[in-house]
Structure 1
Amino acid sequence: MKRREFLNLAGLGIGGAMFTNIPIIGHAVPLETQWSPADTAKKKQMADIALNAAKSKGATYTDVRIGRYLNQYVVTREDKVQNIVNTESYGMGIRVIANGSWGFAATDKLDTDNIAKTAQQAVDIAKENSRLLTEPVRLAPQKGYGEVSWKSPIEKNAFDVPIKEKVDLLLGVNDAAMKGGANYVNSILFLVNEQKYFASTDGSYIDQDIHRIWPTFTITKIDATTGKFETRNSLSAPVGMGYEYLMPRAQDKIQGGVTTLYKGRYDMLEDVKAGTAQVTQKQKAKSVEAGKYDLVLDPTNLWLTIHESVGHPSELDRVLGYEANYAGTSFLTLDKWESKKFKFGSEQVNIVADKTQKGSLGAVGYDDEGVSTKQWNIIDKGILVNYQTIRDQAHILGLNESQGCCYADNWSDVQFQRMPNISLKPGKAGTSPADIIKNVEKGIYIVGDSSYSIDQQRYNFQFSGQLFYEIKNGKIAGMLKDVAYQSNTQEFWNSCTAIADERDYRLGGSFFDGKGQPGQVSAVSHGSSTARFNGVNVINTARKI
């Protein structure tokens, strides 16, 4: 998959062409395939073959990942099913340290001889790499957990739901959009199941069963008079849940600023009906006047700004310059952390990293180095206090253990530092989005994510959205269009003056966050409540400069 495809699929709006060109990860398998996990005892036996073979060839440390990666795509357009695909990828990755250096090799031939040969290859690669070492790998200590397991706490396995039920849902969504006046509508359902087994010479044998789901759509309506068109993408978030995500409960209903949403659930049909009406409103909306505005950002918009301006720059490998070719390094250099007083944002801004949050994309029991997951602060009352690390980075920050941020998107790829869930903590109790809006004299309320741009240091940026509403004297005064906001990361987060409380807290996120070379993708969530940012520069995207 190309980087451009990653970006298109990462919550930025999937155009119609993308729905007929879904990236296939693994090989296609029949739709009636049984999805039950492989036998755990057999996986332990295969892992032990690799661990023993690597040790006999000179490895001082070895970890083994046996992965079965399942994906399902259900793709529709208007009244047609365009594609239904099941894919599977199954194999083993072996990572070792020999002569103080890393080595990695992988195989999908899981018999005794091939596993042993792959382990030897990993050791041979490590020994060859060691010729270039300036200092040996230093791993943070990690206790072995013995034989343990972890499963996503799903209520209904989406892979067990009949294809017809999924197709009926999507075609019903499309039908509602067409009846509401849309000219085109695409809808899609992505399902992921990672069945992962980890073993290491530390003494861990960890079996995990991880589920993710993402329903999404794009509505397009054309003005017959002018030929111009407007779109509205779904306001869904990809999540680490089962099919229950698409079964909203009455008690989860919350009232957002301009649309009805659910806390932890998603009503796809209700969203498409609202979206179709909003596309019509967008056609009639007035074009924004460029200038300074107080912005009120809904979680469906703010998640992407958090991802790009907080998540990526706090990755320690970017800070150190180890990651540079794919989207740059970071302005959050170590001297800013060492000072203990770098003012990243206002005192309202508290950013937490979390690999344990139920329902999030990044939630797992253990990372791909066998480290038990946890939560920690990145920004505390506006001050930079920490980064994201894995086992061979922890000593750089003087940490006694890894923060559990290691991940590989497939058994065939080596694991490396990836972003945990990075979220903005809610504000004080009793503060609602309506309370925030009523105190804004001149502002814009922004819902949904869209295009963005950010520089190679993750500092200067521009973001847009799906829906824009003018705020005058504390009230919503009508819809705007052609809106994008510009700032730099430090200025933007220091302009944060209010955050709604936990009642409004919702997750956004990306199914396909790209990083590394060769490129890998990971899934990550970003939570927040609605937040206010004062005096942010807004441009008109339709007008030539």
Structure 2
Amino acid sequence: MLRRDFIKMSGAGVGALMLPIYGNAVAADILGTKIDVALKKRFADVALNTAKKGGASYCDVRIGRYLRQFVITRENRVENVVNTESMGTGIRVIANGTWGFAATSDFSEDGIAKAAAQAVAIARANSKFQGEPVQLAPNKGVGDVSWATPIVKNAMEVPLKEKVDLLMEVNGQAMKAGADYINSILFLVNEQKYFASTDGSYIDQDIHRIWAPTEVTAIDKASGKFRTREGLSAPMGMGFEYLDGKPAGKIALPGGAVAYSSSYNMVEDAVAAARQARAKIKARSVKPGRYDLVLDPSHLWLTIHESVGHPTELDRVLGYEANYAGTSFATLDKWRSKSFKWGSDKVNIVADKTQPLSLGAVGYDDEGVKTKRWDLIKNGVLVNYQAIRDQAHIIGEKESQGCCYADSWSSVQFQRMANVSLQPGGTKLAVEEMISKVENGIYIIGDGSFSIDQQRYNAQFGGQLFYEIKNGKITEQIEDVAYQIRTPEFWNACSAVCDDRDYRFGGSFFDGKGQPGQVSAVSHGSSTARFDGINVINTARSLG
């Protein structure tokens, strides 16, 4: 099914969410099946042996099966249900010190051998233009191993009726609570990935992810004004147990509780969204100025992603992404100084591909490197970047940091963002206590529109919900809020971070990068954090 056809069939709501559609349409019962591991290993050996005979000094093979299910509803009807499967083999080699890559959907020994030979031929052709040979950090083979997302309930195997009933309940309750329109969606992902390499690894992984986005709209029929509030679910590396509806990390706000962690009450959030969207219509517009901001994890994840995650990707720092997705202000001289103050001493940010429940959690990356956790910013100081096997030597690392990824068997793997997260504060501090110490501030929940420059230095962020804080108390819901930052100034203004009781994930399936463009799934964890004296603008006035 072509993407344009899917958007046409499923309505404007899904088009706005930019869900990635690729692969062949399949029956739902196909989604719960797997390919025999012995068959995948046999095919992998065909590729490895062919590449070595052709003169490759290194080869890795990725046999991928990518499954998706989309259940899309609006108000009292199902708009569409789509099940897709994409399957094939990607083969990467080094020959004459140069990378070569080829892929095939021909699931036969002959087809895979031809792709391996083509990858070697491409590497040889590319080597004529190679300035210096690839330096690949060592990676010891692990033999035959497997890893799987630790799910309780495979979402692909849950009956469609149960999924539709849930979404109809969500929509019905939101309409009763004051919504005029609601879109609700289930987006389910299963990546079945087999990796083999001439290093001696044969790694079978079964990765599951889930997302339940909603968009609620309320209209004031007298004035014609309308407002929306998107759902506050975070996409997660979990099974259908994510929707068990057990809320966590709640805080009392006008319109209902809105904060969730490892379990998500979709109905409760939709009801709160309906009430809050209607309240937005009557909410007063913010007065521009300097405010202390209290940022909920459902909002802060995006600021972390854009102002920390991207500028610490080593390929951006080196200028490899300059033509498309930008560079980074965090140049190597800042890292070499060992003293560049990215933020206050409250700011400790780690990269971690092992975090349970996160979108980026896998056992091994797409180079067969065992994933790990490492510091990016320690006590406010830049201490490291995100690097893969052919970049590690540039920053003196003896091994890859395990953050290489491709979004399909047909795409070549390259450096992608790990889960990048702000660590909780070390002192016991609840959200209510943090708010009680703010004299003139704004509490922001949920991510909204944003803009950031190519070096990830100057930026502006909106949100979903905004609450005025006066003399330690939340007074009222307000509207039209966005704040402007310069990355180091913003993070140096971080004066407090709540403890680990408040730690939650946000994230995205759609972190875009590269040419041709690829997307990756990544989470960003944090507890609620305070930033002092941040410039807030009125977006209604900014628009004229």
The answer, yes or no, to whether TM exceeds 0.5 is: yes
The answer on 1:220 being equivalent to 2:217 is yes
Q: Tell me by how many angstroms 1:286 deviates.
A: 0.5
Mean Cα deviation higher: 110-119 or 192-201: 110-119
Contact 2:220 2:281 (C-alpha < 8 Å) held by counterparts? yes
Distance 2:469 2:395 in 1: 44
The answer on 1:24 being equivalent to 2:21 is yes
Distance 1:441 1:272, change over 3 A: same
Q: Tell me by how many angstroms 1:255 deviates.
A: 2.1
Q: How many residues align?
A: 535
Distance 1:44 1:246 in 2: 35
Distance 2:438 2:20 in 1: 44
- Residue of structure 1 aligned with 2:248, choices 253, 262, 267: 253
Matched position secondary structure for 1:345? coil
Q: What corresponds to 1:11 in structure 2? A: none
Amino acid at match of 1:254: G
Q: What corresponds to 1:342 in structure 2? A: 340
Mean Cα deviation higher: 374-383 or 269-278: 269-278
Q: What corresponds to 2:466 in structure 1? A: 468
Distance 1:416 1:17 in 2: 28
- Residue of structure 2 aligned with 1:98, choices 95, 100, 105: 95
Deviations 1:424-472 (A, max 9, x none): 0001232011111011000000000010000010010000000000000
Contact 1:444 1:469 (C-alpha < 8 Å) held by counterparts? yes
Deviations 1:313-372 (A, max 9, x none): 000000000112332110000000000000000000000000000000000000000000
- Residue of structure 2 aligned with 1:67, choices 58, 64, 69: 64
- Mapping 1:143-542, distance limit 5 Å: 143-249=140-246, 253-256=248-251, 258=253, 259-542=257-540
Distance 2:402 2:468 in 1: 42
Amino acid at match of 1:412: S
Q: Tell me by how many angstroms 1:512 deviates.
A: 1.1
* Unaligned stretches of 5+ residues in structure 1: 9-13
Amino acid at match of 1:97: I
Distance 1:34 1:217, change over 3 A: closer
Matched position secondary structure for 2:464? strand
Distance 2:18 2:397 in 1: 44
Mean Cα deviation higher: 438-447 or 258-267: 258-267
Deviations 1:371-413 (A, max 9, x none): 0000000000000000000000000011010000100000000
Matched position secondary structure for 1:219? strand
Q: Tell me by how many angstroms 1:31 deviates.
A: 2.4
Q: Tell me by how many angstroms 1:33 deviates.
A: 2.2
Higher relative contact order (CA 8 A, sep 6+): 1
After superposition, the CA RMSD in angstroms is: 1.8
* Unaligned stretches of 5+ residues in structure 2: none
Contact 2:233 2:260 (C-alpha < 8 Å) held by counterparts? no
What's the TM-score, normalizing by structure 1?
0.96
Distance 1:398 1:253 in 2: 42
Amino acid at match of 1:482: D
Q: Tell me by how many angstroms 1:485 deviates.
A: 0.3
- Residue of structure 2 aligned with 1:33, choices 27, 30, 33: 30
Contact 1:20 1:82 (C-alpha < 8 Å) held by counterparts? no
Distance 2:31 2:475 in 1: 54
What's the TM-score, normalizing by structure 2?
0.96
Amino acid at match of 2:471: N
Contact 2:212 2:235 (C-alpha < 8 Å) held by counterparts? yes
Distance 1:341 1:33 in 2: 54
Distance 1:19 1:498, change over 3 A: closer
Query: How high is the sequence identity, in percent, across the aligned residues?
Result: 66
Matched position secondary structure for 1:317? helix
Matched position secondary structure for 1:33? helix
- Residue of structure 2 aligned with 1:132, choices 129, 134, 142: 129
